[in-house]
Amino acid sequence: MNAKIREIGVLNLVIVLIGLSVTCGSDKSTNNGPENSIVSNHQSALAFANIPESYINQIKSEFRIFYMHTSHGSQVVSGMTLLEADDELFSVNEGDSSLTLFEYGGDLGHNGDTAWVPITRAQLDSPEHDYNMAFWSWCAGVSDNTEQGINTYLNAVNGLEQDYPNVTFIYMTGHLDGTGADGNLYERNNQIRAYCQANNKYLFDFADIESYDPDGNYYPDASDACDWCDAWCAEHDCPDCSCAHSQCFNCHQKGKAFWWLLARIAGWNGN
């Protein structure tokens, strides 16, 4: 059985387990969630060029984002910076005609850590801000996590959704660590994916973006260093930048995938 087929089998099993074990799984609707789960992945990066300009302008006008991250999470911002350098349409934090993105130093921690929750609440409650979107990145916190620890994360985000119905929340998978389809990271990421699918959440699939090159070749044993990026960029025109822990092309893809997700949240149908 190849790794891709095994991934599908594990995902279907996890969907069943999540429905039984996650206490908040019975509530499949929030005031700020999609009717069906919307996942940003490697295919989203490919579809970036299809985003209508009208939705980009809507995003910049309407979204005010709180983003808590450390070094791995900075890859998303580095990618967005590259896109802005290529086209000012994708400007960030440049005044009224650009996207508002506030970065806060910190991440989702490790097994069962919820220190990020009160920080987020304080930011959302602050009269100085009017954030209407929030998300957080993992550093290495999924690789050594447990089923219970991931459930703690999922329940915590769902709790925020219930308490802040006017804020859109985005879930995230952890970065690749080279352990492949038999590793704990693989299982825990599938747990997050299954929950988001079953409960109609927005998901930024950090790991999936790292797992595929633009031709659709799958690298189940890859790490966050994105070794396949070197081979790809040896034969294609790739940007040059500083990308924490990885190759610049990896950051570039994540920036594209995030703009795609914002456009879907804004109402674009993806076609």
| pLDDT tens for each residue of 225-254 | 999 999 999 999 999 999 999 999 999 999
**Which residue ranges form the domains of the chain, and what is each CATH number?**
3-22+36-266 (3.40.50)
How far apart, in whole angstroms, are the C-alpha atoms of residue 151 and residue 267? 29
pLDDT in tens, 117-170: 999 999 999 999 999 999 999 999 999 999 999 999 999 999 999 999 999 999
- In contact, 80 and 90? CB cutoff 8 Å: yes
pLDDT at 126: 94
pTM, entire model = 0.88
Which among 2, 51, 103, 75 is positioned nearest to 252, based on CA atoms?
75
How far apart, in whole angstroms, are the C-alpha atoms of residue 103 and residue 80? 13
Between 12 and 186, the more confident residue is 186
Cα angle at 173 between 169 and 176, to 5 degrees? 155
